[in-house]
Structure 1
């Protein structure tokens, strides 16, 4: 009677290659996207009552065009999207109303300013090239095409300093070349700290009592004394 032998073939482990690493990185969300999704969702939940109140107040005014503005913007990879914002800048509600774009993935919490399609800064170098292939290859290397526009950014928190190197375009490009999660957290902290400090200063100034010299004079005091 013949004896059957079974041969087990062990699967060879997949080699650690750069291509495998690239596929692994694409399969998992980046740390920046995780920050956008988690923090953006929390901020949206916290701001929801305020946004609802602002939308109701605007709806009561019956503004032409509704309570939201709709404007085309250029996103990641040069893909256009429609940006929705509340028609008011009180309490920065217009900015907070863009949080759904962060959760959806159109915007990031931190990034360059979302530009309209007709803005010259949104046009990648090579857009007027002779052939579409050259234009596409040049546009793919343009830094504005390589990251999402942001709810706020380095240009927004630094552009008012008045320094020549704090031009918005230079700040946006610097962020595109050096961005990481730590820088995003620092920009977010600065974006919250500045308006909060201004609000506290405003409340403090309004709450101060303006007393004249006569308020401290005792009864019967005259200038002749």
Structure 2
């Protein structure tokens, strides 16, 4: 039974998949002719919708074209689409050509025009949809939803809601326990080396911003002769006299970050996420970089998307910090467990070849 199942199951899955792909066009034909649609507003989101309709292989929507009051030379006309006329010609065209779907892609600022178009279309049987002008802002996990039955659209949201939050936390716990079990002898050796190298505590605790901007204590192996955690903190630089001999080696190879796996088990941090900055640095950069605090919609990480893309270590200039924040926000937009695993593997390679960490 087991041997038969081992070859029958995959063959059945592949066969069913190929059969469904071959029969899909005919199944769509059984549902009737394509449904004709037009888009009102030849702008960025309208063009994006048109391209999606054309690219979707098994869509039953047949896009007739666009309506817009602007002259053709002012429009961003997408491929495979044409301008059919101005808004005043819209109701007549819909009735004459039996249009079934109308997508209103007008800017939010054009409320009077939208209301006028809706009023004119009351004499048709077409289904009308509003395409929100979401390109006016930088979406972080944009999606639709309801609040007590009222439709809402999220503009800035954490990717770790619902099942995603459970997956993220479970992967953090499992990987942290596994890694700590493997590196426990190394942790003891490093602790002993720090104690013998210079006076002071083995573990350095520093206040940083965590989830929702709440202060957390982050653990690190002490790599400096000082334990700065005040209103003003100077970033480590090349040849920094504060760094101890063993500390230079630890920082170079990111071994000083290993105690943060304990922070992960505590629930203060994740293995992958935006790297936390000292509170003093946060207060500086939140006033200089727009959207800086959005990175705190998730737990900070031991490693992150910015760090594996060349923004690890010292950030001497504002544009370097801006690039780091841009990568952090990109991570929030595109999170997946696969991306987390990719970052973890890439971090291992980056640590061995990076020369910009002091």
Corresponding position of 2:54: none
Corresponding position of 1:95: 257
- Name the CA shift for 1:93/1:29 in 2 (closer, same or farther; >3 Å): same
Corresponding position of 1:118: 280
Residues 40-78 of structure 1: per-residue CA shift (max 9 Å, x gap): 1100111111011110121123x3331121210100011
| Residue in structure 2 matching 1:68, options 171, 189, 203 | 203
Alignment of 1:1-225 (within 5 A): 30-61=166-197, 63-87=198-222, 88=247, 89-90=249-250, 91-120=253-282, 143-159=294-310, 167-196=323-352, 198=353
**Alpha-carbon distance, 1:122 to partner:** 7.8
Relative contact order higher in (CA < 8 Å, ≥ 6 apart): 1
Give the conservation status (yes or no) of the 8 Å contact 1:70–1:85. Answer: yes
Q: How far apart, CA to CA, are the structure 2 residues paired with 1:105 and 1:123?
A: 25
In structure 1, the gaps of 5 or more residues are 1-17, 20-24, 126-138, 200-225
Give the conservation status (yes or no) of the 8 Å contact 1:115–1:121. Answer: no
Which of the two has greater strand per residue? 2
Give the conservation status (yes or no) of the 8 Å contact 1:115–1:122. Answer: no
- What TM-score results when the alignment is normalised by the length of structure 2? 0.40
Corresponding position of 1:7: none
Give the conservation status (yes or no) of the 8 Å contact 2:219–2:257. Answer: no
Which of the two has greater helix per residue? 1
Q: How far apart, CA to CA, are the structure 1 residues paired with 2:278 and 2:325?
A: 15
- Name the CA shift for 1:43/1:186 in 2 (closer, same or farther; >3 Å): same
Q: How far apart, CA to CA, are the structure 1 residues paired with 2:351 and 2:281?
A: 28
Q: How far apart, CA to CA, are the structure 2 residues paired with 1:192 and 1:157?
A: 9
Q: How far apart, CA to CA, are the structure 2 residues paired with 1:123 and 1:168?
A: 12
Instruction: Give secondary structure in 1 for the equivalent of 2:201.
Output: coil
- What TM-score results when the alignment is normalised by the length of structure 1? 0.61
Q: How far apart, CA to CA, are the structure 2 residues paired with 1:68 and 1:160?
A: 25
Residues 136-188 of structure 1: per-residue CA shift (max 9 Å, x gap): xxx9xx52231000000011000259xx8x92111011112221211111111
Q: How far apart, CA to CA, are the structure 1 residues paired with 2:199 and 2:216?
A: 23
